[in-house]
A = this chain, B = another copy of it.
Amino acid sequence: MSNQQSGASLVPSRRALLAGGAAATLFVPGLAFAVSGDLAAIRKAAEKGYDASVKRIQDWIALPSIAAENRDMDKGCDYMMALARDAGFQHVEKVPTDGHPGVFATLDVGAKRWMGVYFMYDVKQFDPAEWSSPPLEARIVDKPGFGKVIVGRGAVNQKGPQAAFLAALHAIRAAGKTPPVNLVLVCEGEEEIGSPHFRQIVTKPNVLAALKTCEGVVIPAGWQSPSDGGVTVNLGAKGIVEFELVASGAKWGRGPKTDIHSSEKARVDSPAWRLVQALSTLVTPDGNRPAIDNYFEKVRPLTAREKELIALAGRQLSEADAKKALGVERFIDDLPWEKTLERLASQPTVNIEGLVAGYTGPGGKTVLPGRAVAKIDLRLVPNQTAEDSVAKLRAHLDRRGFQDIEINVGGGYDPTETDENSRLIRAELATYKRQGVPTTLYPRLAGSWPGAVFTSAPVSLPAGQFGLGHGSGAHAPNEYYVIESSNPKVEGLVGSTMSYVDFLYEIASAK
């Protein structure tokens, strides 16, 4: 999930007013007695399978597939296929793309309904020097305030939650039961480089046909708030485009092609100043509103229902906790809490991820750089698209004479939208409610994920995150996933596993 936000800062903590234990109950209110019995047996099996489930995560982490480095991609794909077979998928197929292959698998038990699941087998790059324990060793560590966690690259993004989903299928089988729904698994190996070929996988005729039978698609998530265990159900996600803006003497035909001595600034043009001047046109002077020409043209305003959900979220979520988690003293324009939630859901953004030019080490060095780079991400809301946004940016720069400034797009997804009344969302909410998990319904995740491939034509399905459990540190050092939680409001690996079991039963029975 390169562009989702996971862990504490994604799911704002909420006031305790929605508190409720997420601990296991053998007899689940709101489900038929027979189903309750099934769930109890499956939980026992999940507990029995705990060691195997932990080992499944650890073994998976030990094999890092990194598309950006072309590292162990085929191995990673084969491993994913083996995991799917092992979990009971009868048809498991490698799907070649113009990039790295994906996986398509089905588990058909003759149930009435089909459910889609999205996996990725790749992980983000890492630098072992930054880690407290080797990132591929997947060590089990006591993390104060959290419990026992697995530390490793991919722990929460996405191997831990995905393994918990697979553990749910193992537990169902071990309990002598049959999954209550049929499953379609689609998996890619290029999520961390922006899913450039994922559409090729889902539109392969047999994959598309299978997906079209599904109620929706979930991506497993371990995003419970570490304080009260709360989760947010998002009715969609912002889109994103990531790119580098590059000003260079080579393209400009002015200024140096390499770094030269800075005394030459008196007579030589500076690509770094050119970049600064171009950047300064992209946002309002406060840096808070995109100023790219026509950028808001396709932006759909919030609906009355979306505003209502935001108002509700404002009462459920804690401003103080959010500020603390973000390390922020005040929001843009000192906006009140609800307005910040509104902006988070509704506003497209132009963000500087990074700046790199010339000398970047300690102190100074008297150079005039030949090249300057701004790493930018645009967050998109309906009905913006990644392609149109880049075209508008190109036109904006060209109109101001910055034709030479390159826009090197790394990847992007369109925004997604999923109907609140879809069976997927209703089942998610019902499952969380039954578990007593504080739940906030929110119009739009401010982060991004490749879900637009599912929500847009031709797949056109509801899609979103689902799952209990907690982890954090995606893309960062010391990424972790909780396997034994010391906080009764937050689930460990067994509770996470059971959240998927419950959800599949809910999907099977929901009206």
Whether the pair B332, A352 counts as a contact (CB closer than 8 A) is no
Residues in B neighbouring A255, C-beta threshold 8 A? 328
**Interface flag for A170 (CB, 8 Å):** no
Minimum CB–CB distance from A212 to chain B (whole Å) comes to 31
Beta-carbon contacts under 8 Å, A340-385 to B: 340-341, 343-344, 346-347, 349-360, 362-370, 372, 375, 377, 379
Q: Is A254 an interface residue (CB 8 A)?
A: yes
A465 to nearest B CB, angstroms?
14
- A266 contacts which of B268, B286, B343 (Cβ < 8 Å)? B343
A273–B287 CB distance below 8 A: yes
Q: Are the CB atoms of A260 and B326 closer together than 8 Å?
A: yes
In A1-41, which residues have CB < 8 Å from any B CB? 2-3, 5, 9-10
A355 touches B352 (CB 8 A): no
Interface string of A314-342 (1 = CB under 8 A from B): 00000000000011111110010000110
Q: Nearest Cβ in chain B — how far from A105, in angstroms?
A: 29
Question: How many residues on chain A are close to B (CB under 8 Å)?
Answer: 89
Is A482 on the interface with B (CB-CB < 8 A)?
no
- For residue A191, CB closer than 8 A to chain B, the reply is no
Interface centre among A5, A268, A344 (most CB of B within 10 A): A268
Q: Contact check: which of B9, B193, B283, B341 meets A273 at CB < 8 Å?
A: B283
Pair A363/B68 contact, Cβ less than 8 Å: yes
Residues of B within 8 A of A329 (CB): 253-254
Please report the C-alpha to C-alpha distance between residue A277 and residue B365 in the assembled complex, in whole angstroms.
Answer: 23
Return the CB mask of A263-306 against B: 1 if under 8 Å, else 0.
11111111011111101100101111000000000000000000
Closest B residue to A474 using CB positions: B261
Q: Which residues of B contact A280 (CB under 8 A)?
A: 276-277, 279-280
Q: Which residue of B has the minimal Cβ distance to A1?
A: B366
Are B375 and A3 in touch, CB under 8 angstroms? no
Residues of B within 8 A of A5 (CB): 261, 263-264, 366
Task: Tell me whether B363 and A354 are in contact (CB under 8 A).
Answer: no
Contact check, A68 vs B362: say whether CB atoms are below 8 A apart: yes
- Which of the listed residues A261, A410, A411 has the most CB atoms from chain B within 10 Å of its own CB? A261
A446 to B264, Cβ gap below 8 A?
yes
Cβ-based interface call for A262 (8 A): yes
Kindly identify which residue among B262, B351, B360 contacts A360, using a CB–CB cutoff of 8 Å: B360
Interface pair B347/A367, CB less than 8 Å apart: no
Q: How many angstroms between the C-alpha atoms of A443 and B258 in the bound complex?
A: 27
Tell whether A244 is near chain B: CB-to-CB under 8 Å.
yes
Given the interface pairs A262-B353, A377-B262, the reply to whether A277 lies near B285 with Cβ below 8 Å is yes
Q: Is the CB of A9 within 8 A of B261?
A: yes
Complex: A355 Cα to B253 Cα, angstroms? 21
Q: List residues of A (60-99) whose CB comes within 8 Å of B's CBs.
A: 68
Residues of chain B within 8 A (CB-CB) of A330 are 253-254
B contact residues around A258 at 8 Å (CB): 327
**Residue A238 at the B interface, CB < 8 A?**
yes
Q: Which residues of B contact A370 (CB under 8 A)?
A: 327
| Contact yes or no, A355 B353, CB < 8 A | no
B359 and A364 within 8 A (CB) = no
Asked if A328 and B242 sit within 8 Å, CB to CB, the answer is no
Most buried by B among A3, A258, A276: A276
Contact pick for A327, options B257, B287, B364, CB 8 Å: B257
Tell me if A256 counts as interface (CB < 8 A to partner B).
Answer: yes
Q: A258-B327, A354-B369, A365-B353 are in contact. Are A238 and B253 (CB under 8 A)?
A: no
- Can you name 16 A-B pairs with beta carbons within 8 Å? A68-B362, A193-B363, A243-B364, A260-B326, A263-B349, A264-B446, A267-B331, A269-B332, A273-B288, A353-B366, A353-B368, A353-B369, A355-B356, A355-B358, A364-B377, A365-B475
What 4 additional pairs, Cβ within 8 angstroms, besides A249-B327, A277-B280, A364-B410?
Answer: A5-B366, A10-B263, A269-B331, A355-B360
Q: Can you list the 10 inter-chain pairs with the closest CB atoms, starting with the nearest?
A: A273-B287, A263-B446, A272-B352, A354-B358, A354-B359, A280-B280, A5-B261, A355-B357, A265-B351, A267-B340
